[in-house]
Amino acid sequence: MNLRRTMKGRRAVTAVAIATGLLLTVAGCSGGGDDDKKSSDPASSSQPSSKESGDKEESQAPDVKSALAEVKSGAITLSVVSAERDQGGYVTVNGTVTNNGGNFWPAADWRGDERELNKNGASLAGASLVDGAGKKKYLVLRDTEGRCLCTKFEGGGVESGQATDWYAQFPAPPEGTTSVDFQVGSMPPATIELSEGE
């Protein structure tokens, strides 16, 4: 008799546990009916929200940085896109050079006049930063063999209608200096703002 009661009690507890599990599963899947409303509303399913739309536009936009400065000399356009102070005590300047002319542009006059720099070939070895307020000129950093820490142009320059990325590293001006002039070759000086690197 006791065995029969125990079996009935176990069956009842099991049935209650199963019913509770099913009830929770059904409640979790229903979601209150909002999903049905969204899918039946054509405006909400086809038009993203303004936040989604903004995110989508950013991801589709080309990865083009706005220039800090842009200068031209003849058919050559020099753009500076970043000038960041690094923790190592130097400034890295990045940009592009574009040849809008009909002929190959040799970057020979950008390598500088110093004899030591001639081994760098067509490069930005002759570039400098000028701190007008501090009255100092900073030359491109070099290794112990005189090679510049800068771009060396493959092929000696830039083909007609082409653009090439470049970089050059300089000693960092004092912390209080936020603006300098970037100068290379016969290009006009480009005034740039220095930013702090990460």
- Interval 50-59: pLDDT, tens: 444 444 333 3
pLDDT, tens digit (0-9, with 9 covering 90-100), for 125-175: 899 999 998 899 999 999 888 888 999 988 889 999 999 999 999 999 998
Q: What is the domain-level CATH number for residue 89?
A: 2.60.40
Domain stop point among 60, 88, 105: 60
Is residue 89 domain-shared with residue 171, that is, in the same domain? Answer: yes
User: Residue 154: which domain range?
Assistant: 69-196
pLDDT tens for 23-64 read 444 455 555 555 444 444 444 444 444 444 444 333 333 344
Together in a domain, 17 and 76: no
Beta-bridge mates of residue 181: 130, 191
Does residue 160 share a domain with residue 85?
yes
Domain identity same for 168 and 139: yes
Specify whether 27 is located in the same domain as 107: no
CA proximity to 166, closest of 151, 179, 176, 154: 151
Give me the pLDDT at residue 90, please: 93
Residue after which a domain boundary falls, among 16, 39, 60: 60
Name the domain count of the chain.
2
